[in-house]
């Protein structure tokens, strides 16, 4: 039984005829007749019988009308409540996002915000590690960030899109001592000054961890969370920095050379992070649908 068929049936009973019901429902009488016949066939019983030029209900029809009218009233009330909630109360969504994600998924983000004006979206930009903490502490609803997972209370879903990962380059001026190398390892970094992301970023933490594994402490002379500021400082200090290779196409620094990092930690998948065992908000689920269209 479909809600449409039930609504047709109740309208026929309430108006007393097929013609009046058809007028109220803006459908043809044959449409009503077809649907009532289909409903009777499904229920295995007659709902009406003809008496002195008027429609009368059978016992089954009387029961269906009594119960069905309540079902329709409850359904109409539910739809009205949901619609009223969406109109009177603007949904809010807090999204944690890395700068790389913001650049690569800008088309999807703009599409979402322009086609969902009823959703008030707040973007919190930071490094993946900081965003994982914010997600775990319920300061944001979802995060668009990179692996690995540092917070056990969250889950990151890999996304099968055109921008699902990034590789790492070592960036330096063309006259830097390492600029002639085709690839660079963490061992090569030991004697050189480094401009680095903070440990709120995966690359900032990985830099410390991998250099320690190679037996030395990185010589960090400048820390910042703005990738363009870091590139500027490599020019000023003749230092080097670790960067997602995907940012190269957006860089305006033509005097810098980007060389692939040769290491097990030179490739990171990115994904959509959420808290484990927690149902997503409708707005968050809808936002994720847009992001996956990349």
Considering the domain architecture, whether residues 174 and 238 belong to the same structural domain is answered as yes
Considering the domain architecture, whether residues 274 and 154 belong to the same structural domain is answered as yes
What pTM did the predictor assign? 0.68
Tell me the average pLDDT of the chain: 91
Query: Domain count of the chain?
Result: 3
Domain final residue, candidates 88, 117, 134: 88
Q: Which residues pair with 91 in a beta bridge?
A: 119
Question: What is the predicted pLDDT for the residue at 122?
Answer: 95
Considering the domain architecture, whether residues 35 and 156 belong to the same structural domain is answered as no
Neighbours of 133 (CB within 10 A): 18
In 89-155, which residue ranges form alpha helices assigned H by DSSP?
99-104, 106-115, 128-136
Question: What is the predicted pLDDT for the residue at 88?
Answer: 45
Considering the domain architecture, whether residues 129 and 245 belong to the same structural domain is answered as no
Question: What is the predicted pLDDT for the residue at 168?
Answer: 97
Provide the CATH number for the domain around residue 38. Answer: 1.10.10.10
**CB-based contacts of 208: which residues, under 8 Å, 6+ apart?**
199, 218
Considering the domain architecture, whether residues 213 and 257 belong to the same structural domain is answered as yes
Q: Domain range spanning residue 76?
A: 3-88
Domain final residue, candidates 88, 107, 138: 88
Q: For each successive 10 residues of the chain (294 residues), what is the average pLDDT?
A: 86 87 85 89 88 83 88 84 62 92 92 92 96 97 95 92 87 97 97 97 96 97 96 96 95 95 93 93 92 80
Of 184, 168, 165, 186, nearest to 176 (Cα)?
184
Considering the domain architecture, whether residues 283 and 208 belong to the same structural domain is answered as no
Radius of gyration of the chain (CA): 31
Of 88, 143, 82, 79, nearest to 118 (Cα)?
88
Of 126, 71, 66, nearest to 95 (Cα)?
126
């Amino acid at each position: 039984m479909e809600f449409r068929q039930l609504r047709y049936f109740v309208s026929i009973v309430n108006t007393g005829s097929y013609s009046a019901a058809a007028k109220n429902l803006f459908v043809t009488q044959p449409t009503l007749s077809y649907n009532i016949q289909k409903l009777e066939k499904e229920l295995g019983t007659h709902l009406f019988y003809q008496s002195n030029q008027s429609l009368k209900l059978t016992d089954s029809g009387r029961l269906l009308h009594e119960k069905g009218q309540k079902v329709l009233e409850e359904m109409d009330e539910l739809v009205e409540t949901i619609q009223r909630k969406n109109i009177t109360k603007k949904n809010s969504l807090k999204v944690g996002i890395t700068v790389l994600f913001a650049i690569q998924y800008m088309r999807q983000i703009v599409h979402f915000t322009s086609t969902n004006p009823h959703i008030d979206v707040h973007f919190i930009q930071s490094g993946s590690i900081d965003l994982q903490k914010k997600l775990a502490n319920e300061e944001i609803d979802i995060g668009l960030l990179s692996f690995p997972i540092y917070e056990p209370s969250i889950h990151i879903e890999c996304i099968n899109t055109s921008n699902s990962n990034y590789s790492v380059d070592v960036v330096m001026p063309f006259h830097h001592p390492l600029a002639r190398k085709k690839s660079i390892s963490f061992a090569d970094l030991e004697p050189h000054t480094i401009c680095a992301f903070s440990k709120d970023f995966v690359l900032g933490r990985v830099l410390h961890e991998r250099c320690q594994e190679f037996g030395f402490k990185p010589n960090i002379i400048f820390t910042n969370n703005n990738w363009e500021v870091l590139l500027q400082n490599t020019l000023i200090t003749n230092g080097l920095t670790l960067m997602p290779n995907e940012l190269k196409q957006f860089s305006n620094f033509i005097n810098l050379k980007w060389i692939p990092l040769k290491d097990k930690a030179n490739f990171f998948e990115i994904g959509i992070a959420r808290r484990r065992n927690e149902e997503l908000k409708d707005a968050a689920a809808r936002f994720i649908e847009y992001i996956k269209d990349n």
